Amino acid sequence: MGKATGFLEYERKNNGDIPVRERVLNFKEFHTPLSEGERREQAARCMNCGVPLCQSAMKLSGMVTGCPLHNLIPEWNDQIWLAHDEHAFHRLNKTSNFPEFTGRVCPALCEKACMNGQFGEPVSVHDNELFLIEKAFAEGYIKPRIPKVRSEKRVAVVGSGPSGLAVADELNHRGHTVTVYEREPEIGGLLMFGIPNMKLDKSVILRRKKLMEEEGVTFLTGVDVGKDITAKELRAQYDAVVLCCGAKQPRSLAGADMEQTKGIYYAVDFLGDVTKSLLRAEEKSAAQGAAQGAEAVKLPAKYGSVKGKHVVVVGGGDTGNDCIGTVIRLGARSVTALEMMPEPPMERAANNPWPEWPKVKKTDYGHEEAIELFGHDPRVYETTVKEFITDKNHRLTKIKTVQVKFQDGKLAEVADSEKELPCELLLIAAGFVGCEPYTAEAFGVARTNRGTVETAPNQYASSVDGVFTAGDMHRGQSLVVWAVCEGRNCAREVDEYLMGYTVK
C-alpha cells in the first residue's frame, strides 16, 4: 500500500469530458486524461484491502460484482502511486489481454465492489487501467512477444470480437499457429461495428491488430465461415476450431414489420453502418480524423438522412445510449428512448446493499448530451410501442405508445395511457437472443434454448470433438470483460486438448 492515508487525503476525480456542444460536432473520443500527478493521487486512494473484492467476481443476488479477469488491482494501483509504471503495466498485462478496450468501454465491475464505495466514492480503477495501457504503448513497454517455439498445431478462430481475439492471443503465445476468420471487412466484432467511435476509436483496435500480426497471428477478413468456406474444409485444415461469432441475433419488436415499413432498423446494424461510413471517410482523408463530423457519414440509402428527423430508440442499455449519442451527432431533431422497466432509484435501495451490483439510475454520455441539447432526459420509462403509423409510401411518420406495468409477473397495458409521438426513424436496441444460427449449424454443434452453443457447465468444448466456443456465442449477450475472460479460459481448454496439458 503506497500511501496508507491516500483514501483519506484524496477525493475521487474522474477523467474530464469535452463540453457537450463541442464534442457532438464530431465522432472523436471526448474524455480528457488527468495529469500524471493527479493520476498517482487517484491510485493512492486504493486501500490494498485484506480481502480485495474489486478482483473477486463474486455472484451476489444473481449479479456479478468485481472483475471477472481477477485483475491484480491493488498491486498495480500501488505501483502507479510509486511511479513504477512499467512494473504496474506488467502486473496488469498478466491477467488482462486488452486493457485498452476494457479501459474505455467496461462498466467497471471492479469499482462497484471497491471498499471505498461502501460509504463514499470508489477508486477510479477504470481510468487508472486506461492510463497504464496508453502509457505502455506510448513509452514502448509493449513489444511484440513472438513465441520462440512453435507446437506445429494449427487453430482456427471464427470471429474476431474480444473473445476471439483473446483466444487467438493466448494460443499464439502458447506457440500454436492461429488464424482468425472474420466475415466483416475489419476485425473487432462489436468492438469495431457495434460501439461508436466516440466511445472506442477504431485506431485502438487496429493498433492491437498490428501487434498481434507481428506476434504471428493471421487475420483473414471478409471470409464468412459457413458460406465462403465450409466447416468441413476448416476442420480438415486445423487441429481445433473455436467459434466466437457473438450473439448477434437481435430481439425483434412486436408489431414491427421491418420488411414493409421504411424507417425501422436494428440498432446494431445502424451503428455498424455509421462506423463503416466513417472508416471509408478516414481512408479518403489525408489527415486522420479530419473527416469525423456528421457530414462525413454517408449511410446506405435505406436510412435516408438522419438530420432533422424525430428518432425513437427502443431499449435502455448501452446500445440504446450509443444510438442516442450517434443520432445527435448526425443532426436528429429530437430523440426519445423508450424503456419498459420502471425508472431505477438514484441511490441504492435497502435490499441492494454494497457490494452487490448497484441497481441505480445511470446517466451516460448520450443521455447527458440529449439533456443539454433538448432540455430534458430522453428516457421514458414503463412505456412501449403499440402501433406504427406510416404514410402512403409505407414510410414511418409516428408511433403510438402505451404505458405498461408488471402485474403478477406479466406485462400489462395501463388503460387510457396511449400517446402519439412523431417518429421518422426507430432503432430497436432490445438486446439479442443468441447467435446467428448458420455457423453453428454448419459445424453441427448442439445449441441451448437460449440460442447459444451448448457445452458442459464452465467448459468450452462443444458437442463436436475439436470444436470449441467462447464469448457471447457461449454465454449469451454480455460485457467485453466477460468475453475476454471467456477467451482466456477457452484457450486453456484448447491448449490442453492439443497438448495433453496446459499452463494454468
Count of beta carbons in the 10 Å neighbourhood of residue 446: 11
Q: What span, in angstroms and rounded, lies between the C-alpha atoms of 299 and 119?
A: 47
Q: What is the pLDDT of residue 147?
A: 96
Name the strands in the sheet holding 264-266, side by side, starting at the edge strand that comes first in the sequence.
264-266, 425-428, 310-314, 334-338, 379-380
Determine the residue type at 77: N
Which residues of the chain are in CATH 3.50.50.60 domains? Answer: 154-249+433-499, 264-428
Contact 473, 246 (CB under 8 A): yes
Grid coordinates representing 168 are 487467438
Q: What span, in angstroms and rounded, lies between the C-alpha atoms of 434 and 430?
A: 13
Q: Which CATH superfamily is domain 264-428 in?
A: FAD/NAD(P)-binding domain (3.50.50.60)
Q: What is the pLDDT of residue 64?
A: 93
Q: What span, in angstroms and rounded, lies between the C-alpha atoms of 293 and 270?
A: 17
SS3 181: strand
Determine the residue type at 285: S
Residue 147's Cβ-side half-sphere holds a number of Cα atoms within 13 Å equal to 18
Determine the residue type at 220: L
Residue 307's Cβ-side half-sphere holds a number of Cα atoms within 13 Å equal to 9
Q: What span, in angstroms and rounded, lies between the C-alpha atoms of 125 and 48?
A: 13
Pick the CATH number of 6-139 from 3.50.40.10, 1.10.1060.10, 3.40.640.10, 3.40.920.10: 1.10.1060.10
Q: What is the pLDDT of residue 287?
A: 52
Grid coordinates representing 212 are 498481434
Q: What is the pLDDT of residue 121?
A: 96
Query: Which residue numbers in the chain have pLDDT < 50?
Result: 289
Q: Which CATH superfamily is domain 154-249+433-499 in?
A: FAD/NAD(P)-binding domain (3.50.50.60)
Please, which contacts does 203-211 make with residues 24 or more away whose CB atoms are closer than 8 Å?
A: 203/288, 204/100, 204/101, 204/104, 205/101, 207/100, 207/137, 208/98, 208/100, 208/101, 208/165, 211/142, 211/144
Q: What is the pLDDT of residue 14?
A: 96
Kindly report the pTM of this predicted structure.
Answer: 0.95
Q: What is the pLDDT of residue 281?
A: 87
pLDDT in tens, 202-244: 999 999 999 999 999 999 999 999 999 999 999 999 999 999 9
Q: What span, in angstroms and rounded, lies between the C-alpha atoms of 439 and 183?
A: 11
SS3 208: helix
Which residues of the chain are in CATH 1.10.1060.10 domains? Answer: 6-139
